[in-house]
């Protein structure tokens, strides 16, 4: 009777208590009921080659704020030892002192504009040319109109009569326009005033009334191309009003990139000129060059390194020349000062030397006090910044990457990845919350990493570390963790049975007791 009760209790316990042990299952493998997943899981043995491939995934550790970076101890500015040979001289009274003062005034000033850094484009403008009037060309459309208030249409040339209806006439490929009853008049290459004179002469020769007016209806002969990093590349016509470079860029919709990284290149007559965009409006618009027929404007996003290098070399040569001139002027000034200094008495010299030493000592003391106060303020500010950053980290307001430890760990936890460094699998396994020696299966250690590629959405790579051979732990020390990696450690088979029995035993005794009571 007791055996029947016990068997019934075990059967009831088996039906009502089921223990589920988590594990990593590769897609396509036979899965137990309830272990299916919509993720594409691929198990990869954690070999040396797999470590190298996994570590090649792009990752840049976050940087700490500048307040955490050590700064070299700032020191008071070195004023140098006392130069007894050049004391502060009194006001000169001789002609020699006046000459020294004049030499000091003639001392050339050092250049204050440094050469641009390598890779920055130099300003190279086309040669300046005086403005020229617009000259009529082939394909331009002109309009002629005449005062016919006191005449009939039979008394007016055919073209002029037609022009009262505002019909345009194209300058043909031979540079002439055909005027009915007058003939062909060549006006290509002429200004508007010169074209009026030519048509006037043709009308007079044909005995027509030369009262008329001439205007250009369409400008088609002179054009400029604008391309590159502009919103609307186009061909811009040149009209009676000179076309400026800035106006051409506006006609093309403007520059569609950051102006700090844009250089405008102008191709003219086989030469290439360039203007950095941020210098286009310097010098009161002098860099805004006037465009000519056939010019090509290209807005480029990359700098001409060779041009910048040439500019830099030129600036170095100019700097060397300025330094040589300054050295010459300094030597001349030194000679004048020496001549004036030797005119002083020994007593004046010693008194001024002592005075200079006292002044230098006071300056050094003041500079040291100022630098100490500034360093103290900076250290206090940096300490406040570090404390604020730590508070943000503690509250989760500062961005930081994390990996996760799951499975048979002493305490499943979230592992913060270090700033400006890299964490490894061994760090996760052997820290205070790492593997549980009693329950962890060293042969079933996995790092689960989801693919970051959009085309591989849902793909998961499970790097399998078999640490039953302790030599394989070398790969754990080399395997770099990435944000959102999950380190999973499976349980020992005996642990599974132990947990099944520990959960099953109370149920068995409870149901057995219930059956016995009944």
Task: Domain 2-60+401-507: give its CATH code.
Answer: 3.10.560.10
CA distance 509 to 63: 59
CA distance 155 to 151: 6
Confidence (pLDDT) at 160: 53
376 or 103, higher pLDDT: 376
Confidence (pLDDT) at 89: 46
Strand 402-407 to strand 440-450: parallel, antiparallel, or no bridges (unpaired)? unpaired
CB 175, CB 181: distance < 8 Å: no
Nearest to 39 by CA among 494, 462, 509: 462
76 or 241, higher pLDDT: 241
Predicted TM-score of the model (pTM): 0.40
Nearest to 43 by CA among 499, 444, 467: 444
Sequential DSSP letters for 436-500: -TTTEEEEEEEEEEE---GGGTTEEEEEEE-TTSGGGHHHHHHPBP-TT-EEEEEEPHHHHHHHH
Nearest to 191 by CA among 134, 131, 129: 134
Phi and psi torsions of 113, nearest 5°? -95, 105
Q: 234-268 burial, b for 16+ CB within 10 Å, e for fewer?
A: eebebeeeebebbebbebbeebeeeeeebbbbbeb
Least confident of 7-21, 100-114, 290-304: 100-114
Confidence (pLDDT) at 5: 42
Predicted confidence band of residue 442 (pLDDT cuts 50, 70, 90): confident
- Cite the DSSP H helix spans in 17-58: 48-55
Confidence (pLDDT) at 112: 40
Confidence (pLDDT) at 436: 76
258 or 429, higher pLDDT: 429
Domains 2-60+401-507 and 223-302 share a fold: yes
Nearest to 418 by CA among 428, 407, 429, 410: 428
**CATH superfamily label, 223-302:** Outer membrane lipoprotein wza domain like (3.10.560.10)
158 or 399, higher pLDDT: 399
Confidence (pLDDT) at 447: 93
Domain ranges of the chain: 2-60+401-507, 141-218, 223-302
What value does the mean pLDDT take over residues 305-327?
A: 66
Cβ neighbours of residue 92 closer than 8 Å, sequence gap 6 or more: 98, 100, 101, 340
Greatest mean pLDDT among 81-90, 112-121, 489-498:
489-498
Model pLDDT for residues 417-427, shown as the tens digit of each residue: 998 889 999 98
What is the overall mean pLDDT for the chain? 77
CA–centroid distance for 464 within its chain: 40
Is CATH 3.30.1950.10 correct for 141-218? Answer: yes
356: pLDDT strictly greater than 80: yes
- Cite the DSSP H helix spans in 112-191: 158-163
Model pLDDT for residues 45-82, shown as the tens digit of each residue: 999 999 999 999 898 888 888 877 776 654 444 545 44
Confidence (pLDDT) at 154: 53
């Amino acid at each position: 009777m007791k055996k029947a009760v016990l068997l019934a209790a075990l059967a009831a316990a088996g039906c009502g208590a089921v223990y589920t042990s988590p594990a990593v299952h590769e897609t396509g493998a036979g899965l137990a009921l309830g272990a299916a997943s919509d993720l594409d899981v691929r198990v990869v043995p954690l070999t040396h080659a797999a470590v190298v491939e996994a570590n090649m995934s792009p990752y840049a550790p976050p940087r700490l704020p500048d307040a955490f970076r050590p700064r070299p101890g700032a020191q008071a500015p070195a004023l140098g030892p006392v130069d007894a040979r050049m004391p502060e001289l009194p006001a000169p009274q001789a002609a020699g002192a006046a000459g020294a003062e004049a030499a000091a005034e003639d001392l050339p000033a050092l250049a204050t504009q440094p050469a641009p850094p390598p890779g920055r484009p130099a300003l190279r403008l086309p040669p300046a040319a005086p403005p020229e009037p617009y000259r009529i060309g082939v394909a331009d459309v002109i309009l002629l109109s005449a005062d016919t208030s006191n005449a009939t249409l039979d008394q007016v040339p055919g073209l002029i009569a037609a022009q009262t209806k505002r019909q345009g006439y194209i300058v043909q490929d031979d540079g002439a326009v055909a005027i009915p009853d007058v003939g062909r008049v060549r006006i290509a290459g002429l200004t508007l005033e010169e074209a009026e004179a030519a048509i006037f002469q043709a009308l007079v020769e044909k005995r027509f009334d030369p009262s008329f007016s001439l205007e250009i209806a369409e400008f088609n002969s002179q054009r400029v191309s604008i391309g590159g990093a502009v919103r609307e590349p186009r061909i811009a016509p040149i009209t009676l009003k000179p076309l400026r470079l800035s106006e051409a860029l506006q006609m093309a919709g403007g520059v569609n990139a950051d102006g700090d990284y844009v250089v405008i290149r102008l191709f003219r007559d086989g030469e290439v000129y360039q203007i950095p965009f941020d210098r286009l409006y310097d010098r009161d618009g002098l860099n805004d060059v006037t465009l000519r027929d056939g010019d090509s404007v290209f807005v480029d996003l990359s700098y001409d390194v060779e041009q910048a290098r040439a500019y830099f070399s030129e600036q170095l040569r100019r700097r060397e020349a300025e330094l040589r001139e300054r050295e010459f002027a300094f030597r001349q000034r030194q000679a004048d000062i020496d001549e004036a200094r030797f005119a002083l008495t020994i007593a004046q010299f010693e008194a001024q030397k002592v005075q200079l030493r006292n002044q230098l000592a006071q300056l050094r003391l003041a500079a040291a006090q100022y630098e100490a106060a500034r360093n103290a303020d900076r250290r206090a500010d940096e300490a406040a910044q570090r404390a604020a950053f730590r508070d943000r980290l503690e509250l989760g307001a500062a961005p930081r990457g994390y990996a996760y430890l799951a499975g048979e760990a002493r305490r499943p936890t979230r592992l913060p990845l270090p700033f400006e460094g890299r964490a490894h699998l061994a760090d996760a396994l052997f820290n205070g919350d790492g593997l549980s020696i009693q329950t962890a299966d060293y042969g079933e250690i996995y790092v689960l990493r989801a693919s970051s590629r959009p085309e591989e959405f849902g793909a998961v790579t499970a790097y399998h570390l078999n640490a039953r051979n302790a030599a394989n732990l070398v790969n754990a020390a080399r395997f770099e963790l990435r944000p959102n990696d999950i380190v999973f450690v499976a349980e020992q088979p005996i642990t599974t049975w132990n947990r099944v029995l520990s959960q099953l035993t109370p149920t068995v005794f409870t149901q057995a007791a219930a059956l016995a009571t009944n």
